Amino acid sequence: MKQLIKVCLIFTFYFLLFTSSEAQPLKPMQAFTHADTLRGTYGPTRDWWNVTKYDLHVKFNLKDSSISGYNIIDFEVLKNGTTIQIDLQEPMILDSIKVIATRSTANTGNIPFTQDGNAYFIQPISWMKNGEMKKKNYIYVYYHGKPRIAIRPPWDGGLIMQKDKNNNPFVSLACQGLGASVWYPCKDHQADEPDSAEMHITIPDSLICVGNGRFRGKINNSDGTATYDWAVTNPINSYNLIPYIGKYTHFSEVYEGEKGKLDMDYWVLDYNLEKAKEQFKDAPRMMKAFEHWFGPYPFYEDGFKLVEAPHLGMEHQSATAYGNKYKNGYLGRDLSGTGWGLKWDFIIVHEAGHEWFANNITTKDIADMWVHEGFTNYSETLFTDYWYGKPAGNEYVIGTRKGIQNDIPIIGIYNVNQEGSGDMYPKSGNMLHSIRQVINDDEKFRQILRGLNKTFYHQTVTTKQVEDYINKESKINFSKVFDQYLRTVQIPVLEYKIDGYKLSYRYTNCVKGFNLPLKIKFKTEQWIKPTEKWETLNLYPEGDNGFTVDPNFYIKTKKVE
């Protein structure tokens, strides 16, 4: 994938203000290339085989920022296929590939491969017996090189090589959007997650490596290095598999959650221990609120971790990256402008919210990233609602609207690794808030959120699946609402006029058939169901100022004569 670009100044300002902790920046709309298609398409070199495990063995040479090692890719055959695509981004170098029947036969000869930019291809048909591959197979991919260095992590991602305040190495990676193949060979597409993963990371023995999942041991080598062994037993996005390297110290607690005892571990730079013990009190508060709204934390088997990182934050599954400088809000700022966002740590709440939406439920194509970011943006509102009351949550989400740009549609272009607008955060969140108003039953809305996480537990999904589920469970057809907010840049306008005892209204600036019901006040509170045609409500008004639309609906109003 080509280097992530910069957008125009005004868009950059608002995009970074409202989403800079949440995802990589976007590539611009452009004429897409063959390389984009190779990166973004789940086609005949990918769809016939399913990754079941990544087993990474990687040595970090911190003196020259190089890494070397191999990835054992366990996979199963789903249907007939002839070519396997492995992704590894330049300037990393793929040394050799072995396709074998069992892990114990790794010394078999190297397999020929061809390269097309960041994609490598092998044809296992040459090694088939009796015309078909075994159900279970293993690819050993050996590689080395210097990964792309992150320019402004996590937005412009890659390898992060920093020093802590005591001049000790502080190292990690961030690669959402850019892709995990920036540092290890893999099937770099969201549609296929390994069912489990291991990381065996070798670093100087004066440092500590923290990874996803559970710590399984450390081997002290004879050359001044140590190898740390971490493993996850649940499916994981390839971009979430990340090591953290530094002078860490550790503390922990046990949370009594919906599925029992949950280990909550915290890894921070040694001199930040006391600050972390105070700031990370938001972690169990987050867990309590989100288990209420979304259901059980999806990865009890792997535990939950916050890990201090050399960048602002990222939703690395079971090892959330934390770099908010131990401040409430977003680096001390309230993104809603209401004051509510200063009562909690934005990175803890937002990035951990991704454990449900992004890590538990993952979109097949990055074009549908609103499912990750919209629901997680709204998790901030739900956290505020849970701890400070519904009016506080309403104020918070309404306050985030000032960051909406309506520049391009929220849903991106499929099959070329292209996200949509950065509006996938506050605009999608406000769309969900509007849908919640129409459902008009918070318990039903909560069961829909919990049902999404149960129905699509550890699965990859499409936008259509999420839309269909909400429509079915709410028994309300929101199809035109999704079309309006996800697929256009138009914000609906409710035109209205008052003539004596009569209120007339209609929608404009909307998709055909847009039908979002609204709660209004016209003498009394009541519901209306506007369409593109003029409708009339007969009541005695209190005057022109007696008509208002509930501000929880993300629309505009315009009085006409």
Whether the per-residue pLDDT at 59 is higher than 90: the answer is: yes
Nearest one of 76, 142, 134 to 109, comparing CA atoms: 142
- Which of 502 and 208 is assigned the larger pLDDT? 208
Give dist(CA 440, CA 443) in Å, integer: 9
SS3 of the chain: helix, strand, coil, percent, to 5: 30, 30, 40
Cα pseudo-dihedral 455, 460, 465, 469, rounded to 10 = 20
Mean pLDDT of all residues in 440-449: 98
> Do residues 518 and 527 touch, judged by C-beta distance below 8 A?
yes
Give dist(CA 506, CA 422) in Å, integer: 29
pTM: 0.93
pLDDT confidence tier of residue 134, bands split at 50, 70 and 90: low
- How is 365-391 classified by DSSP, letter by letter? SGGGTHHHHHHHHHHHHHHHHHHH-HH
Whether the per-residue pLDDT at 60 is higher than 60: the answer is: yes
Nearest one of 495, 511, 491, 507 to 557, comparing CA atoms: 495
Mean pLDDT of the chain, nearest integer: 91
Domains of the chain (ranges, CATH numbers): 32-242 (2.60.40.1730), 351-487 (1.10.390.10), 493-559 (2.60.40)
**DSSP state, 357?**
B
Mean pLDDT of all residues in 72-87: 93
Q: Would you state the pLDDT for residue 30?
A: 66
Chain segment 193-207, per-residue pLDDT in tens: 999 999 999 999 999
Q: Percent of the chain beyond pLDDT 90?
A: 84
Mean pLDDT of all residues in 73-99: 94
Q: Would you state the pLDDT for residue 22?
A: 41
**Which residues in 78-157 belong to E strands, given as ranges?**
84-87, 93-100, 114-116, 119-122, 136-145
Q: Would you state the pLDDT for residue 102?
A: 60
Chain segment 143-182, per-residue pLDDT in tens: 999 999 999 999 999 999 999 999 999 999 999 999 999 9
Burial of 488 (0-12, 13-18, 19+ CB in 10 A): middle
Chain segment 292-349, per-residue pLDDT in tens: 999 999 999 999 999 999 999 999 999 999 999 999 999 999 999 999 999 999 999 9
Q: What is the amino acid identity at position 249?
A: T
Chain segment 532-543, per-residue pLDDT in tens: 999 998 876 554
At 538 the three-state DSSP class reads strand
Both structure tokens of 318: 């079971």
Whether the per-residue pLDDT at 267 is higher than 70: the answer is: yes
Burial of 519 (0-12, 13-18, 19+ CB in 10 A): middle
- Which of 20 and 396 is assigned the larger pLDDT? 396
Whether the per-residue pLDDT at 239 is higher than 60: the answer is: yes
Q: Residue 31: which residues within 8 A CB-CB, separation 6 or more?
A: none
Pick left, alpha or beta for residue 135 (phi over 0 → left; psi -120 to 50 → alpha; otherwise beta). Answer: alpha
**What is the radius of gyration, based on Cα positions, of the chain?**
25
